[in-house]
């Protein structure tokens, strides 16, 4: 599957360091609210400073799409992208591995997997349990 390579910057370095070690990192605000790794400020108190914490890597599927892209070789690549509610509460979008999307159901239990693209940083994905 062709996709834009993930690149780290100073703000995302703790996230990508975690993924490289097979760990999903999320953010915790000083008020206690947990948010996804891409959140810039707290939805409760608008504080932009967070502490990175380790998530369990468990979650469940909220919704998903199946993409069909023309591959460079002439065929069609399909990929399932899901909206995942982490066990800790935050939601995030991620690739869902190990399925063509046909048999998926809302609420299916998922666990963290890590993709290692040819270019860019390793990225989080999820697999049905």
Residues 3-32 that bind Zn ion (CB under 5 A): 29, 31
- Decide if 71 contacts 79 (C-beta within 8 A): no
Q: Are the C-beta atoms of residues 84 and 126 closer than 8 Å to each other?
A: yes
The verdict on 41 binding Zn ion (CB under 5 A) reads no
Rank residues 41 and 77 by Cβ distance to Zn ion and give the closer one: 41
The contact pattern for Zn ion, residues 44-73, with x = CB under 5 A and - = no contact, is xx-x--------------------------
Task: Quickly tell me which residue has 């239990």 as its tokens.
Answer: 109
What are the CA-CA distances from residue 119 to residues 48, 71, 108 (Å)?
A: 30, 17, 30
CB of 51 to Zn ion, least distance (A): 11
Residue 94 beta carbon to Zn ion: minimum distance, rounded to whole angstroms: 24
């Amino acid at each position: 599957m062709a996709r834009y390579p993930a690149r780290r910057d100073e703000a995302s370095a703790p996230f990508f360091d975690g993924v490289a070690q097979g760990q999903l990192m999320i953010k915790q605000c000083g008020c206690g609210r947990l948010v996804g790794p891409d959140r810039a400020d707290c939805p409760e108190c608008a504080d932009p400073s967070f502490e990175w914490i380790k998530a369990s890597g468990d979650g469940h599927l909220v919704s998903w799409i199946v993409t069909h892209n023309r591959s460079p070789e002439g065929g069609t690549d399909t990929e399932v992208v899901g909206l995942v509610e982490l066990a800790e509460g935050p939601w995030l979008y991620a690739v869902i591995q190990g399925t063509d999307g046909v048999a998926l159901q809302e609420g299916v239990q998922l666990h963290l997997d890590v993709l290692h693209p040819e270019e860019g940083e390793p990225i989080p994905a999820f697999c049905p349990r």
